[in-house]
Structure 1
Amino acid sequence: MLNVTTNNSRPSRANLVRKGLLVVLFGLAVLTAYLIYQRQNPYKVQVFATKSGWGYTILNRGKLFINQPTIPGQPGLVGFATEAEARRVGERVVWKIQQDKALPTLTNDELRQLGVKIP
């Protein structure tokens, strides 16, 4: 009787290649998910009703960044006339933040271009 012993404890080269490819694919999947997350707009505009009209808040990754209950740069406590006005201005502020990476200012002309009726 012939007694042949084989060493099955060492993984074959093909198994090592498969495991290596799985690790690389997993790494690429994680990297892709991270890059997609980073490209998402971190800012979100929410509008709300006030006693004098409408206002908006801007959230940065879910945290309060700007709270604007009145028309910016205007005297008094006058809110936006409509929800749509507040949303348009909030979205313009987000656009400016993304362009300059700083807190934006809006001129009266810009507000008028966005359809805001300045008192």
Structure 2
Amino acid sequence: MKRNNNYKIVLLGVTILFIVFFYIQSGSNETKTVKDTAYALQVIEQDSLWIYEVYNQDSLFIRQEYIPAAKGQQGFKSKADAEKIGKLVIRKLSENKMPVIRITDLYANAIDFKNI
């Protein structure tokens, strides 16, 4: 009888350890938000167009004066557009991906540009 209770206690302990382990693992895999990264975004008005800069630990990492993926040298017409793409770049960097912006990203974020 005592031996049977010992097995139950050990099984319960192992089960609790597995639950705690998987809970901790699932919490560490959550997607990082822009605020949780070492990157910072700054949107600046320049010559009545908007640019964004991405900083990595207080040093300039990316300065984007033109809309990426758009043909020609088209600037961002609004602060909101520059901010959307800047945040997308930071999200990709935070996920250890290349910060490449494609034309589909521009359409998905409703960025105002001329498709020439």
The TM tier, using the shorter chain, reads 0.5 to 0.7
Q: CA deviation at 1:40?
A: 4.5
Structure 1 letter corresponding to 2:47: K
Candidates 89, 95, 114, aligned match of 2:85: 89
Instruction: State the identity %.
Output: 29
Where in structure 2 are the equivalents of 1:1-119 lying within 5 Å? 40-51=36-47, 53-99=49-95, 101-119=96-114
**Which structure: larger Rg?**
1
| Cα RMSD for the two superposed structures | 1.8
Unaligned runs of 5+ in 2: 1-34
42-51 or 72-81: bigger deviation: 72-81
Paired residue total:
80
Unaligned runs of 5+ in 1: 1-38
TM-score when normalising by structure 1 = 0.61
3-state SS, counterpart of residue 52 of structure 2: strand
3-state SS, counterpart of residue 48 of structure 1: strand
Q: CA deviation at 1:80?
A: 0.8
Q: Distance in 2 between matches of 1:77 and 1:49?
A: 16
Q: Distance in 2 between matches of 1:105 and 1:40?
A: 21
39-48 or 83-92: bigger deviation: 39-48
Q: CA deviation at 1:98?
A: 1.0
Structure 1 letter corresponding to 2:85: V
